[in-house]
Amino acid sequence: MLIKRISFLLLLLFGGIAQLHATHNIAGEITVRCTGANTYEATITTYTNSQSNADRCSLTINWGDGTTSELDRTGGPLNPSVCPSPQTDGVPIPGYPNTKKNLYIGTHVYPGPGVYKISMSDPNRVAGIDNIQNSVNTAFYIETEIIISPLFGCNSTPVFTSIPLDKACVNHCFYHSPGAVDPDNDSLSYAIGPPLDTTGLPFSPFIAVMPDAPCTSNTPHGAGGVMTIDPVTGIMSWCSPTCQGKFNVDVIVYEWKKVGTSWVNAGYTIREMQIDVATCNNDNPDIPDLPDLCVDAGSTVNFNFTVTDQNNDAIELTTYGTAFTATPPAVLSPSGANIYNQQPVVANFSWSPTCDNVRLQPFTVTIKARDDDPLVPLLDIETFRIRVVSPGPVTLSAQPTGTSMQLNWSANPCNAPSNPCLGYKIYRMVGPSGWNPVQCETGVPAYTGYVYIGTVVGYNNLSFIDNNNGNGLIPGLTYCYRVHAYFVDGSESYASPEACNELKRDVPIISHVDVVSTGLNDTMGVSWYNAVADAQNFDTIARPGPYQLKIYRSAGITMAPNPTLLTTLSSPYFAALPDTFTDFVLNTAGTHFCYRIAFIAGNGTDSIGSSQVASSVFVTTSPADNRVNLAWTENVPWTNFRYEIYRKLPSASVYTYLDTTSQQQYTDSGLVNGANYCYYVRSLGTYNNINFPDTLRNRSQRVCQSPQDLTPPCPPTLGVNSDCYNYSNQLIWTNPMNMNCGTDDVVAYNVYYTPTENGTWQLIATITNPSDTTLLQQNLLSVAGCYAITALDTFNNQSAYSNIFCVDNCPVYELPNVFTPNGDNLNDQFIPFPYRYIESVDIKIYDRWGVLIFETTDPDINWNGRSATNGRLCTDGVYYYACTVNEIRLQGVVPRVITGFFHLFGDNKKAE
């Protein structure tokens, strides 16, 4: 036993020494590159202490699909004293003594689509990380999630252009950018958090970087200040650390892909980084704020800015971001690692993006200014974004062909292989818009009034026929169009110039369907513009007369398949064709009426065509409390832009103007209930055609209505004070008058009750005094139940139910522990103490041998102490009972089982 204890002690001793010298991992991440199909190449990048004896020539990667691989270190020099070939040594990091960068690269084929968490865990982490307790004995863990999906294609993770090691000064703001760049031009977002344990969760204990804590040595502590990260740019700021030390934090980079119109998460990469905080007297250099920009492909961004340092330190400017890796790249001058410039530094940024740079996601520009302080150089970081957009088609034309419009446009100037033009989107509106896009306003926004009407697929498909989805366009209207290109990644070009035109005027164009009168002699006035006689519209020489106009009518808002032919208007001469018609004997109060006019030449043998269908305006009304609600509809080929409402008061004989609205509904308020008010609506419309009058005016039928109160009051708010011990409930509610729900007349209340939850409501009281808002219920057999209140107005409109308020009983049922049936009229019956809210019981009483001697369902029990089997008085002793008590509760009758015993003393030592 002694030998075993000594061996165990030595194991602990030497194990502790091994851990002490096994300090190793400082920071790192895993990045992944898709190489085709389901094949992915992963790179584990670690930053380690080069003096550690825990150096790793290879690392194990967990691919996230249940398999692992051993990856050799690569990319560094061969060093047989450290690793056998082909494994290599790490690469030293300039400015970070005893630190090296290590790369481990491997390829894996996944079984198919899915979410895979790729991870690496190493038991050795460097000692002395101040916000990780016992960091030397805490495992180092990093992970990356990839999502393989047909929606994403061959997707790679972001890569980092800056190392995860940085230095900060006590009481000075610290800035850092991970410099993440996505090879697929996906959108990135950023977050920060604590390092992870080997289960992928934030490990504990972890002392956060942010909160203030005592700066004690040899004890984990925070460093004060507030650390944040910009979720869009990824710029970390820490203003300001108050303690010296080394602090580790995770930077999480989320990847987003646009699928359709939605952004979908495509995985994340977690990078653990270390910040070394020291005491210094340095100050940060300063880069001015630089705004986000937008630039057209083929133009140039060029501007100067000045970088300063209040300590007059020399400044090194370095750059990273997608604008500097683009083709052609952006240029910042002066810039370059280890090239220090005496300040102030006047820097120049210049970039001339081409069509190859057109894309939905903006390019990032990150500029880092670092001073040359010999102890702790400080820096400032400025990030801005540049969006590159495509010019749109330079020309667009619109030519009428029958009832369609033929559109043709020039090919879009940009169609780069990296983001090809997939085709064009076409938009239409009636009348010119007067809109021209501002800088970076691509596509055709909805606020312009344009409506999307179709898409043409293919870069070289440069035409479109607009026939209004087979319904034909409307003669007389001026149609205007815009076209823009769209690209693989969802980006859009500027819109083309506006092109406007109208159809040929070779058929009649209806201008009025006007209800002249409603009543005993209903009359509808119909008028139109005849075709234009010239070579561009209707050629009377090629299509001679005589000419006919056939007028068709149909009840309703749309033309029936077999409409009524009202009349045929004929003329041997085109110029003598009429342009008005009066339709008599109609029930205009009952429905819309719509019309169509057919144009025929050559004595009925040459059918030219027909006008569009146009209907009358038809108004419906509904009564309300001191109000009349009006609504109307129409089906017309022109655009109605405003409506005038006319009213005839009960005592008046003529209609007068009331109001104007652009909506197709109106509420006339402040009226007298029961009085009769009459209305009609006159529409104001236009064809947006300079050859027609500015305004077309058409009246609806006349309609009358009497306002009446159909609006219920607001529901009251109910509360209940329940006295379970005194068998009473007091209901208290609010008077809902003047609660902005359309009524101010409450005259009564209905009180509803149900004894159980979700039961059937019973009307238990009607309170006819609106000022009386309480109800006291006393001497109740049960206080359990639910209540609700409704309010009633003078027209007996009932409100919705108030809130439902439920209360419950407090049942009590207890039995004595002594029973003396000795004939002295005291305690001669075994009965319960006073009880409440009990429906029934099921009690069974047993003697000490378990023989049943009495049972009943009567809650009062009233047992006289005699056996139910032989009628004799039971002997003195202990008796047992089991009783099911059926309590009256809000849920209904609820059973509760009670058991116990009692002593029977009847001065009866033996059975009678």
Q: Give CA–CA dist 519/586, Å, rounded.
A: 9
Q: Give CA–CA dist 838/483, Å, rounded.
A: 81
Residue with tokens 């294609």: 153
User: Would you state the pLDDT for residue 28?
Assistant: 96
How are beta strands 892-904 and 818-819 bridged, if at all?
A: parallel
pLDDT of 220 strictly over 60: no
Residue 347: pLDDT band (50, 70, 90) is very high
Through-space distance between the first and last CA atoms of the chain, rounded to whole angstroms: 78
Region 448-452: mean pLDDT is: 96
Please enumerate in sequence order all residues whose Cβ is within 8 A of that of 721, keeping only pairs 6 or more positions apart, or say none: 729, 730, 732
> Which sign does the torsion angle of CA 412, 414, 417, 422 carry?
negative
Q: Give CA–CA dist 296/389, Å, rounded.
A: 5
- Range of weakest confidence among 100-104, 228-232, 653-657: 228-232
Mean pLDDT across the chain: 90
User: Would you state the pLDDT for residue 403?
Assistant: 85
**What is the DSSP annotation of 250-301?**
EEEEEEEEEETTEEEEEEEEEEEEEEEEE-------BPPP---EEEETTS-E
Q: Give CA–CA dist 859/811, Å, rounded.
A: 13
Q: Give CA–CA dist 507/548, Å, rounded.
A: 12
Alpha helices in 244-386 (DSSP H): 322-325
Residue with tokens 């076409």: 426
- pLDDT single digits (tens) 596-642: 999 999 988 899 999 999 999 999 999 988 999 999 999 999 999 99
pLDDT of 830 strictly over 50: yes
Q: How many other C-beta atoms lie within 10 A of the C-beta of residue 761?
A: 14
Classify residue 270 as exposed, middle or buried by CB count within 10 Å of its CB (0-12, 13-18, 19+): buried
Q: Give CA–CA dist 578/587, Å, rounded.
A: 25
Q: Give CA–CA dist 40/167, Å, rounded.
A: 34
Q: Give CA–CA dist 217/137, Å, rounded.
A: 18
Q: Give CA–CA dist 340/353, Å, rounded.
A: 28
- pLDDT single digits (tens) 514-536: 999 998 789 999 999 999 998 88
Please enumerate in sequence order all residues whose Cβ is within 8 A of that of 654, keeping only pairs 6 or more positions apart, or say none: 648
Q: Tell me, rounded to whole angstroms, the distance of Cα 440 from its chain centroid.
A: 26
How are beta strands 718-723 and 728-733 bridged, if at all?
A: antiparallel
- pLDDT single digits (tens) 320-343: 888 999 999 999 999 998 899 998
pLDDT of 5 strictly over 60: no
Region 716-735: mean pLDDT is: 94
User: Would you state the pLDDT for residue 226?
Assistant: 86
User: Would you state the pLDDT for residue 76?
Assistant: 92
User: Would you state the pLDDT for residue 13?
Assistant: 28
Q: SS3 of 898, please?
A: strand
- pLDDT single digits (tens) 106-117: 999 999 999 999
Asked if residues 231 and 254 have their Cβ atoms less than 8 Å apart, the reply is: no
- pLDDT single digits (tens) 464-510: 999 999 888 988 889 999 999 999 999 999 999 999 999 989 999 99
Q: SS3 of 5, please?
A: helix
Residue 794: pLDDT band (50, 70, 90) is confident
Residue with tokens 């609700």: 788
Region 241-269: mean pLDDT is: 90
Q: SS3 of 322, please?
A: helix
Asked if residues 409 and 493 have their Cβ atoms less than 8 Å apart, the reply is: no
Which bin fits 909, alpha (ψ -120 to 50), beta or left (φ > 0)? alpha
Q: Which amino acid is at 19?
A: Q
Q: Could you give the dihedral angle defined by the CA atoms of residues 820, 825, 831 and 833, in that order, rounded to the nearest 10 degrees?
A: -100
Q: Give CA–CA dist 844/50, Å, rounded.
A: 85
- pLDDT single digits (tens) 362-394: 999 999 999 998 888 888 999 999 999 999 999
pLDDT of 128 strictly over 70: yes
Residue 90: pLDDT band (50, 70, 90) is very high
Residue with tokens 């450290």: 82
Residue 547: pLDDT band (50, 70, 90) is very high
- pLDDT single digits (tens) 404-426: 999 999 999 999 999 999 999 99
Give the helix, strand, coil percentages of the chain, each rounded to 5. Answer: 5, 50, 50
Asked if residues 349 and 331 have their Cβ atoms less than 8 Å apart, the reply is: yes
Residue 215: pLDDT band (50, 70, 90) is low
User: Would you state the pLDDT for residue 908?
Assistant: 60
Q: Give CA–CA dist 351/303, Å, rounded.
A: 10
Q: Give CA–CA dist 319/188, Å, rounded.
A: 19
The three state secondary structure string of 463-496 is EEEECCCCCCCCCCCEEEEEEEEEECCCCEECCC
Region 293-304: mean pLDDT is: 96
> Which sign does the torsion angle of CA 451, 453, 458, 462 carry?
negative
Residues making up the chain, counted from first to last: 912
User: Would you state the pLDDT for residue 565?
Assistant: 96
- pLDDT single digits (tens) 638-655: 999 999 999 999 999 999
User: Would you state the pLDDT for residue 209?
Assistant: 55
Q: Could you give the dihedral angle defined by the CA atoms of residues 65, 69, 72 and 75, in that order, rounded to the nearest 10 degrees?
A: -20
What DSSP character marks residue 613?
P
Q: Give CA–CA dist 653/678, Å, rounded.
A: 10
Residue with tokens 């330079």: 394
Please enumerate in sequence order all residues whose Cβ is within 8 A of that of 586, keeping only pairs 6 or more positions apart, or say none: 522, 523, 524, 593
User: Would you state the pLDDT for residue 742?
Assistant: 52
For the chain, give the percent of residues with pLDDT over 70.
94
